[in-house]
Amino acid sequence: MSNKQYEQLNVGEIATELSKSPIVYLPIGSLEYHALHLPVGFDALHAHRICLAAAQRSGGVVLPPTYWGTCGHEGFVGSLLLRKETIASLISDILNELTDRGYKVIILLTGHYPGEQGELLRKVAAEHSKIHPGLRIIVPNVFEEHPVYPEVPCQHAGKRETSLGLYLFPELVQMEGLDKPGGEATPQWGEELFKTAVEFVAQLASDALGQINRSQ
């Protein structure tokens, strides 16, 4: 497998990847209380893993995850959440940079509160797309749009997130003393969630690039 991590590539490798597939993924999360058993950076950690695996399928590169997010468990131990305006400005600046560099498909994958943070990202993406109509900016919501995820409600730090954690980075998950729903989590279910999410996101990216290529 080729290295897809943007920060680990040299300029020649970045140029080669761009010429082969002008797709770029930005994993977005938060620093937020995730009960007593999951790391506070869980949202960005698992979004980054999904993006890396999706890029292996679709081509493109993956930017370092941003751990700064907005809304959620404000005031809880471990939570460091910023104003919506701050996040919107950050993402807007990143989109400007990526557009100037020649990327045609941009995937903004939030692992944090997609109903709220995802909506903010979609607004920023829509504003940017008005200025750059030939660009495709996608904000996937695997929690609602992929058929596997809705099978179990997405309780914060519950079965879904805990299962993903047990599969992706079990060394960071402390299951001792947990009651349900976290106690129902398994790495096997996490693997199923992860693989279906990767397939879903990668297909969105590939389809978007295909649409651009056909329109040229």
Q: Is residue 215 part of a domain?
A: no
- Span 98-153, pLDDT tens digits: 999 999 999 999 999 878 899 999 999 999 999 999 999 999 988 776 655 555 55
Q: What confidence score (pLDDT) does residue 83 get? A: 97
Q: What confidence score (pLDDT) does residue 216 get? A: 78
| Sheet of 136-138, strands arranged across | 61-62, 23-28, 105-110, 136-138
- Span 177-214, pLDDT tens digits: 676 655 688 999 999 999 999 999 999 999 999 999 99
Domain that holds residue 195: 6-209
**Exposed / middle / buried, residue 7 (Cβ in 10 Å: 0-12, 13-18, 19+):** exposed
Q: Is residue 216 part of a domain?
A: no
- Span 28-62, pLDDT tens digits: 999 999 999 999 999 999 999 999 999 999 999 99
CATH number of domain containing 199: 3.40.50.10310
Q: How many domains does the chain have?
A: 1
The three-state secondary structure class of 195 is helix
CB of 211 within 8 A of CB of 136?
A: yes
CA 49 to chain centroid: 8
Q: What confidence score (pLDDT) does residue 147 get? A: 58
Written as six digits, the tokens of 164 are 């993903």
Q: Is residue 43 part of a domain?
A: yes
- Span 157-180, pLDDT tens digits: 888 899 999 999 999 999 986 766
Phi-psi bin for 17: left (phi > 0), alpha (psi -120 to 50), beta? alpha
Q: Is residue 58 part of a domain?
A: yes
Q: Is residue 199 part of a domain?
A: yes
What is the pLDDT of the chain when averaged over all its residues? 92
Q: Is residue 84 part of a domain?
A: yes
Q: Is residue 59 part of a domain?
A: yes
